[in-house]
Chains A and B, each alone.
Chain A
Amino acid sequence: MSGPSLGTRLAARGIDGTTLLVLPGIAVMVALFVYPFLYGIVDSLTPKEGVWYSNYTRFFSDRFQYGTIAATLWLALPVTILNMALALPIAFRVRLMNRQRLLTTILVLPVTLGTVFVADGLLTFLGPQGWFNRTLILVGILDAPVKLTNNYWGVFASLLITGFPFAFLLTLSYVTGIDPAIEQAAATLGAKPRQRFMRVFLPLLVPGLAVTFCLSFVQAFAVFPSAVLLGAPAGATRVISIAAYQAAFEQYDHSMGTAIAIIMGVVELVIVVAVLGLRSFFYRGPAGGTKG
């Protein structure tokens, strides 16, 4: 009994010459991502001294080390929530604008210039003699300059400047994906603005907002250069990436550095998975107005 040839049977399952084109990409990722990652896990479990898990016990028994998790979350969560809270109403206004391009182009600047440039600019701008303090004194809100650099607020400002445009542009792309006819239908049926937002838009937007939250949070959680340049890297803004970097490249203990890096990834993934899990309780379906 002779069936179809092996090639035909494989092709029926979607494997043929074209499918093999995926191999170079996989090879690169295995070599540069999967292998180093597995190597890192093993490396973190073979510490310089002590039992196999001693890197992790060292991290969680030293307040200077495990405190960095709280310091990072204390920066990343408020900033992400504030960015989202600002991005949503502004995206709703901008969606009605005819000339969005100028605004979106300006807002894409900090995203592309990156945190190092923004940190450099903020050091001048927020400094005691900078324009920010001067303006507030001129307007009469302040009597004397406030210290906004080399502390928590400097890092907060840098995450706001780079994070808000990111959250805004993502939100805008989701908001403009909703058919305006849906809103018009709701308005025709007598829904007030608040009702239209709460009962029509918000349910449609929740999946997109969850993704936006996650991507913004990932960026804020990975804060590194601005926490060093604008913050107090030995104090309030000693974030977990600084701890990982110092262990690996200043104390030359790559085993410990990798352990901290893995803890960092786990903490972040726990929050991302939790947010994406909550998303599944909400409506997921087409946001277009046409019949599906």
Chain B
Amino acid sequence: MIRDQGIGSKLWRFAVWALAGLFVLNLLAVIAAVLVNSFATRWLGTWLPAGWTTRWYFDAWREFQLSNVVLVTFQIVFTVVLISGIVGVVTAYALARRDFPGKRAVILLFLLPLLIPPLTYGIPLATVLYQVGLGGSFWGVVFINVVPSLPFVILVMIPFIEQIDPRIEAAARVFGAGTGSLFLRILLPLLLPGMLAALLLVLVRTIAMFELTFLVAGPTTQTLVVSLYYAVFASGVRAGQSIDAMAVIYMVTTLFWLVLALQFVSPTQIVARAKQQQAA
């Protein structure tokens, strides 16, 4: 490592750290503001609220019918994860192991949903879903969420599968393994860490996916983040603390899975798609 000792370098280093510190401070303060407000009895024009209470959580749970919303959220999210997981791993396996004519076009097809704005494909898809009668239904929400999730799983899994030596599979074949047992006893155990990471990342992203779910969610198929949006949008109808209590509940459900995901991946991978594995 190189350390420069000039006064200019020191000043520059200090400025960069100060900026980074300032950002982290503001970020934590934004989250803390939600937390503090959700426990506040009254918070008007002071640094901290007048008193503390937990009653907003009970209010929010009842008013926003959160037991239903949380249940629906998890049903939708797990279905999305299951579909994009199974289809994604199978597709990624073919793309990682074979070179075939038109492979570049296929990869482009999977890259496009990540490159164009969600509303650009979301509005036509929502229109189609409403016309076939799936608008507002459970499967409508699942289908629209699969569009960005499936490519994400595929792009995470391709480098992961590429690093598994194909000779391991060949050796298993030599020793008489059929396709079924090859998959169950050789590939699955090797793929499990990568799959777990990819699926947890999809899980976290789908819980937080607002734009697409918002387009097709009906009254009974709202996920947490969509309910939160409506609550903030109509703020003034309910107490602000109640909305923030719901925001905290949303945060906890997201962070639970994020913490679990971070056991398997480094934070940079959440945005950078398995770069480190490729380098290894």
B235 partner residues in chain A, CB cutoff 8 A: 123
B204 contacts chain A at the CB level, 8 A cutoff: yes
B158-175: contact bitstring with A at CB < 8 Å (1 yes, 0 no)? 000000000000000000
Check A166/B271 contact, CB under 8 A, given A28-B150, A101-B266, A112-B258. yes
Q: How far is the CB of B206 from chain A (nearest CB, A)?
A: 11
Q: Which of chain A's residues 52-82 have a Cβ closer than 8 Å to chain B?
A: none
Contact of B100 among A15, A37, A103, A173 (CB under 8 A): A15
SS class, residues of chain B in contact with chain A:
helix
Chain B residues within 8 Å of A, Cβ to Cβ: 1-2, 4, 9, 13, 16-17, 19-20, 23-24, 26-31, 33-34, 37, 44-45, 47, 83, 87-88, 90-91, 93-95, 97-101, 103, 106, 109-110, 112-113, 115-128, 130, 143-144, 146-147, 150-151, 154, 204-205, 208-211, 214-215, 225, 228-229, 232-233, 235, 240, 243-244, 247, 250-251, 254-255, 258, 262, 266-272, 275-276, 279
Inter-subunit contact B94/A21 (CB<8 Å)? yes
A-B contact sample (18 more), CB < 8 A, given A40-B127, A86-B23, A161-B30: A28-B83, A40-B124, A94-B20, A106-B28, A108-B267, A111-B271, A112-B204, A114-B208, A120-B244, A123-B232, A134-B47, A173-B272, A176-B268, A218-B117, A241-B211, A254-B123, A261-B119, A261-B121
Please give, as numbers and ranges, the residues of chain A lying within 8 Å of B228 by CB-CB distance.
Answer: 116-117, 120
Q: B124 near A120 (CB under 8 angstroms)?
A: no
Q: 11 A-B pairs, CB-CB below 8 angstroms? A: A22-B95, A25-B154, A89-B16, A106-B24, A120-B243, A124-B240, A177-B279, A215-B271, A244-B123, A261-B121, A269-B116
Residue of A nearest to B201 (CB): A112
CA distance A107 to B271 in the complex (A): 11
A111 close to B270 (CB less than 8 A): yes
Binding site for B on A (CB under 8 A): 13-16, 18-22, 24-26, 28-29, 32-37, 39-40, 43, 86, 89-90, 92-94, 96, 101, 103-125, 129-132, 134, 161, 164-166, 169-170, 172-173, 176-177, 180, 183-184, 187, 193, 214-215, 218, 221-222, 224-225, 228-229, 241, 244-245, 248-249, 254, 257-258, 261-262, 264-265, 268-269, 272
CA distance A263 to B254 in the complex (A): 33
User: Within the assembled complex, what's the spacing in Å between the Cα atoms of A286 and B34?
Assistant: 45
Select one of A32, A92, A229, A264 contacting B119, CB under 8 A: A264
- How far in angstroms is the closest Cβ of chain B from A94? 8
CA distance A22 to B235 in the complex (A): 47
A-B CB contacts (within 8 Å), total count: 277
Q: Which residues of B contact A183 (CB under 8 A)?
A: 2
- Residue among A43, A106, A123, A245 with max Cβ neighbours from chain B (10 Å): A123
Name the residue of chain B whose CB is nearest to the CB of A40: B124
- Per a CB cutoff under 8 Å, which of A22, A125, A218, A262 touches B94? A22
| A36 adjacent to B23 (CB under 8 Å) | no
Pair B33/A131 contact, Cβ less than 8 Å: yes
Please, how many angstroms separate the alpha-carbon atoms of A204 and B234 in the complex? 49
Complex Cα–Cα for A138 and B119 (A):
42
Q: Is the interface of A mostly helix, strand, loop or mixed?
A: helix
Q: Are B128 and A39 in contact (CB under 8 A)?
A: yes
A196 closest partner in B (C-beta): B2
A86 to chain B, nearest CB (A): 6
Bound CA–CA A116/B225 (angstroms): 7
* Of A43, A101, A122, A124, the contact of B124 (CB 8 Å cutoff): A43
Tell me how far the C-beta of A212 lies from the nearest C-beta in chain B, rounded to whole angstroms: 9
- Determine if A229 and B232 form an interchain contact, defined as CB atoms under 8 angstroms apart: yes
| Complex Cα gap A129–B36 (Å) | 14
Residue of B83, B123, B251 near A261 (CB, 8 A) is B123
| Cα distance, A123 to B241, chains bound together (Å) | 12
Q: How far is the CB of A242 from chain B (nearest CB, A)?
A: 10
In the bound assembly, the distance between CA atoms of A89 and B23 in angstroms comes to 14
- When distances are taken between beta carbons in the complex, the residues of chain A under 8 Å from B254 are 112-114
Q: Is the CB of A18 within 8 A of B97?
A: yes
Q: Which residues on the B side are within 8 Å of A165 (C-beta)?
A: 27
A264 near B267 with CB under 8 A, answer no
Name the distance in Å between A215's Cβ and chain B's nearest Cβ: 8
Q: Is there an interface contact between B124 and A258, defined as CB atoms closer than 8 Å? A: yes
Question: A35 to B120, alpha carbons, bound, how many Å?
Answer: 13
- Contact yes or no, B34 A225, CB < 8 A: no
Give the contacting residue for A21; candidates B93, B128, B150, B275; CB below 8 A. B93
Inter-subunit contact A229/B229 (CB<8 Å): yes
Chain A residues lying within 8 Å of B101, measured Cβ to Cβ, are 13-15
Residues in A neighbouring B122, C-beta threshold 8 A: 261
* B244/A116 in contact, CB under 8 A: no
The answer for the CA separation of A48 and B195 in the assembled complex, in Å, is 46
User: Which of B4, B17, B276 makes the CB contact (< 8 A) with A193?
Assistant: B4
